[in-house]
A and B are shown apart, each in its own frame.
Chain A
């Protein structure tokens, strides 16, 4: 026993994450110190102290095998400064077995500060080291069984994944390989591989035509506008619906709002045409009836700054409302009751309880939206505007540009280059968003 040295160390996994691990060092010549164990995440309940958490519910795994190793590991999401690592904490986690082992505990905080507690007594629990916790797969991974063994053992399960896998290989990964076309001058006779290279000509054409900048800003700004308005309106209607008592009106209104979600943009375009066309449209008829002049909406770009967000909200408001309503329903009613007893007004309850409680949902949805900020709402733009040349400059987005150069001018190289440009930007944006989120609230991270 004495030849083992145990060290319990706490070290930050990421900026906001502490991982506690008990490292086992052996003096045996061949074995290197290693950590074994599953990373277990423990979410801090706000207000509760760490030790309370620890005694209540730190799941951990302990494995006793040859060579002997024991690992106690818990990942703790909290700010570093608020964690007090004390021997009593560890004591409360563990219960028995291997008593009286001395170890050194190190708490390594963010900026290289290291705090060391020497000669602490650690007791390590193995009573929770039941067969259920130490699954065969952990043991197997220790022994390092190979890929083929795993595939053969679970062949039915892996076979069940094959159709979907094949689909994504053919319809997603093959096209990713097809990106080489961005550097080629494609023709049908030679195919993807045989077509001659033209290096960066396609990109040159895309950027020098001046289109790149205008479609990128258009895509970005429209999506930003959509996202902001969509979030505001959805939250607003969800809150108002949740405040209503009568069911009939509520249900009807919600059904009406949700209806456009079921309609394709083809039909939505026809709706817009009915309202906005120059000769018979309702808006113009109304203007004429009021004594004004009819306006040619389909030839005036500036109206579309209003129409497009309006159409977007019209289509999606029902969907967003359902999303946020689900979150509102999930709020603990006791909060509202307590607030009522404390004399809060209805508006205070909305601003002090409902909105803060909706924050996680809003953050996630806005982040997802931000990640897609350069993916245009192609269906909408193409159906509502189509190939209308007058509106083009103000309403052309990357997706419509790609589509037109593909089907219209058959400029495959440029279409691929523009698509690649979009994909790379999107990918970069998602990565940045995810990184930022992880730094602040790692719970909300996408992956």
Chain B
């Protein structure tokens, strides 16, 4: 019997969905709110009343302090931007090149090669030998190169790309181009790569995010301040007041608004990501789906 009323179980489920999802969404976004709101509170208010959802005394002094002496922050931003852009571009190009090689069915050793890189996810030397190899054998300590090379390739992304090539790009395209006289590299560059754009966009964003959020490589291998990327600078600011004072060229640590300065710095460092987030979110969702279809 058709009825226009919504069934009670459906209503109950919708109700549960709204309540549960609403709660989870609030909880996930709550720390962001606390951060942004309190970064506009005065140091006095934070020290006396603690962090609150409703700011008691509005103040932009922390931001002023940062923007008056922005050189070091800008430098950190510059390093992060450079390694993110350059690293992502290089990583994408080289990864897809390797993935294309692994996807070609007429290559006899492709499975062996795939296993060669897959093996590194099953077994690795661990942090200490890696550290020693990079510092004493490759001599990459305190270089920009280590920041780019450190998080450069992910086996997982290469294999996703390989699957994308095998399943979404018809082999007859390559064959046709080959008959027309194109070499393997030309086929890859002119035919395969343009067709891979959607997958490249997603994987590129994941790689870029990894570069942007990488503090760890810098912590291990970089000691010179002019090479420190943003996240690591932020980490140092959050963990030591001296560093915070140093960043804003303020020697008098005593009257530094350290709590609100930390908050302001955090806001400044996550600003670009949160602003870009609504526009790039769908690429990430596509990327996750891409990986899960044939991981």
Give the interface of A toward B (CB within 8 A).
135-137, 140-141, 150, 154, 156-158, 160-161, 163-165, 167-168, 170-179, 181, 186, 188, 191-192, 233, 236-237, 240-241, 243-245, 249-250, 252-264, 266-275, 279-282, 284-285, 314, 317-319, 322-323, 326-327, 345-347, 361, 364, 368, 378-379, 383, 386, 399, 402-403, 405-407, 412, 415-416, 418-420, 422-423, 426-427, 430, 447
Contacts and interface: CB of A to CB of B under 8 A. Distances in A.
A175 B123 CA distance: 11
Nearest to A326: B289
Given A154-B184, A175-B133, A415 B124 contact: no
Nearest to A378: B216
B77 interface: no
Contact of A163 (B18, B97, B108, B284): B97
A178 B288 contact: no
Contacts of B259: 280
Contact of A447 (B100, B118, B153, B220): B118
Contacts of B49: 285
B50 A282 contact: yes
A264 B231 contact: yes
30 contacts: A150-B108, A156-B183, A157-B101, A160-B185, A161-B98, A161-B102, A164-B117, A167-B94, A171-B149, A175-B125, A175-B133, A186-B132, A241-B17, A243-B17, A244-B14, A244-B18, A244-B21, A249-B22, A255-B277, A256-B25, A258-B285, A262-B274, A264-B215, A266-B235, A285-B49, A345-B9, A346-B9, A406-B131, A415-B126, A419-B126
B21 A165 contact: no
Interface string B267-295: 00110011001100100110011001101
Given A262-B273, A270-B266, A236 B215 contact: no
Contacts of B68: none
Q: Which of B46, B101, B215: most chain A CB closer than 10 A?
A: B101
Contacts of B284: 258, 261, 322
Given A259-B29, A416-B126, A240 B52 contact: no
Interface stretch (B32-40, B57-65, B81-89, B248-256): B32-40
A317 B26 CA distance: 13
Interface residues of B, number: 104
Main SS of the interface on chain B? helix
Interface string B149-162: 10011000010000
A170 B116 contact: no
A168 B153 contact: yes
Interface of B: 7, 9-10, 12-14, 16-18, 20-22, 24-29, 31-32, 34-35, 38, 46-47, 49-52, 94-95, 97-98, 100-102, 104-109, 113, 115-118, 120, 122-134, 136-138, 149, 152-153, 158, 183-185, 188, 209, 212-216, 219-220, 231-232, 234-235, 238-239, 259, 262-263, 266, 269-270, 273-274, 277-278, 281, 284-285, 288-289, 292-293, 295
A181 B126 CA distance: 11
Contact of A281 (B51, B129, B137): B51
Given A167-B94, A361-B292, A402-B127, 13 more contacts: A165-B116, A167-B152, A172-B124, A253-B25, A256-B26, A280-B51, A281-B51, A346-B7, A346-B9, A347-B9, A403-B127, A422-B126, A423-B126
A156 B97 CA distance: 11
A160 B185 CA distance: 8
Contact of A240 (B21, B108, B184): B21
Please classify the interface of chain A as helix (H, G, I), strand (E, B), loop, or mixed, using the class held by over half of its residues. Answer: helix
A137 B285 CA distance: 38
A318 B285 CA distance: 10
A282 B220 CA distance: 33
A402 B128 contact: yes
A265 B10 CA distance: 39
A402 B127 CA distance: 7
Contact of B14 (A245, A256, A378, A399): A245
A280 B47 contact: yes
A137 B12 CA distance: 61
B41 to A, nearest CB: 10
A268 B133 CA distance: 31
Contact of A175 (B31, B50, B108, B129): B129
A419 B127 contact: yes
Contacts of A412: 128, 132
Nearest to B205: A262
Given A314-B28, A326-B292, A270 B132 contact: no
Q: Which of B105, B130, B136 has the most CB of A within 10 A?
A: B130
Given A161-B102, A178-B133, A282-B52, A168 B120 contact: yes
B129 A416 contact: yes
A364 B292 CA distance: 10
Contacts of B292: 323, 326-327, 361
B231 A266 contact: yes
A136 B107 CA distance: 11
Most chain A CB atoms below 10 A, which of B50, B120, B231? B50
A261 B28 CA distance: 10
A285 B220 CA distance: 37
Given A168-B117, A364-B295, A406 B127 contact: yes
B20 A237 contact: yes
Given A164-B158, A191-B136, A266 B28 contact: no
A245 B14 CA distance: 8
Contacts of B32: 259, 271
Contacts of B212: 264
Given A167-B149, A284-B50, A285-B52, A406 B17 contact: no
B120 A259 contact: no
Given A172-B125, A262-B277, A281 B50 contact: yes
Contact of B124 (A176, A241, A255): A176
Contact of B238 (A254, A266, A416): A266
A181 B123 contact: no
B235 A240 contact: no
A24 B47 CA distance: 87
